[in-house]
Amino acid sequence: MLIRSSIKLHPTIKALSKHIVYTHLHIGLSAGFITLGTAYHATITNYFLYGITAFFATISVYNFHGVYKAELLKSSAKHTWIFRHHLYIKWLITVSTSITLLLLMFLLKKPFIVLPLLFVIGFISFYYVIPFKGSPLREQPFMKVIYVAATWTSFLLIFPPLNEGINALHWGEICAYFCLFVAIALPYDLRDVSIDQQKFKTIPSSIGSKKTMLISITAFLISGTLILSTDRTGIYNPIFWSVIGSNVLLLLAVFYRKKEPYYALLDSAFGMIGLIYFW
């Protein structure tokens, strides 16, 4: 179940929480907030539109993955819920994809530079779950986390400045968020290890849970350090330290408790890092 604790929530709140998590709206918000903040930090005028685009693109891709896996697996409460509501989810995919494409057409300024990048991102996102030459990309040994971090970094951090013609990319910031996405993705590798290890090798199935947790926490701390190196005002920003501290606690909670609410909170909390640029 999505929520199972000593605190009993009102059925309406519980149903709403389930809807938000199972339709990946919270992950879309995190993607949108990070793009919003980093584009603003890069002095991009249309930073808000880039954030909205990231929000709808993430909803489109993650729900596409969810529907595809639910129709194959139906192995959890989430997959069962998605399968039962597959028509609504497919409608959501259609709407979010259409809005994403319209926004990209409106924002597009450097087609010869960014279209190849967008094609690669789209290719990886599609074949991440759809078999390509026999198996989906996510089943390539040790590449699951790398594909997730690379596509998020490319779309959220590299696409906006390239499209705006900003030649001096903030590589420190790009590396910071790549590390952040690796840190956030590793707990999911650990959660799925019992299923994944039957088909392909992942980092947790090869080095174990404790070392995976150590890599995740280390990657997250490297990410925070690199973000500080690109914007030193964060040292004096209590909001920055609050966001970093809460994310570290949630990472630890996910590794030690392995409960769905902690995963949902982590997916919601890491996007708050993008908002620190506004304070």
Torsion angle of the four alpha carbons 115, 117, 119, 125, in this order, in degrees rounded to the nearest 10: -140
pLDDT band per the 50, 70, 90 thresholds, residue 12 = confident
pLDDT band per the 50, 70, 90 thresholds, residue 237 = confident
pLDDT band per the 50, 70, 90 thresholds, residue 141 = confident
Question: Could you give the CA distance from residue 43 to residue 64 in angstroms, rounded to a whole number?
Answer: 32
Tell me the average pLDDT across 11-35.
Answer: 88
Predicted pLDDT at 73: 63
Q: Which residues contact 79 (CB under 8 A, 6 or more apart)?
A: 66, 69, 70, 73
The pLDDT tens digits for 168-218 are: 678 888 999 999 999 999 888 887 766 655 566 778 777 888 888 899 999
8 A C-beta contact, residue 217 and residue 248: yes
Predicted pLDDT at 120: 96
Predicted pLDDT at 86: 87
Q: Looking at this protein, which amino acid is placed at residue 193?
A: V
Q: Which residues contact 60 (CB under 8 A, 6 or more apart)?
A: 93, 96, 97, 100
Mean pLDDT lowest among 34-43, 58-67, 234-243: 234-243
3-state secondary structure of 68: helix
**Nearest 5 degrees, angle CA 157-CA 159-CA 162?**
110
Question: Could you give the CA distance from residue 60 to residue 96 in angstroms, rounded to a whole number?
Answer: 5
Tell me the average pLDDT across 45-70.
Answer: 93
pLDDT band per the 50, 70, 90 thresholds, residue 14 = confident
Q: What is the pTM of this model?
A: 0.88
Of residues 62 and 240, more confidence is placed in 62
pLDDT band per the 50, 70, 90 thresholds, residue 157 = very high
**What are residue 132's DSSP bridge partners?**
135
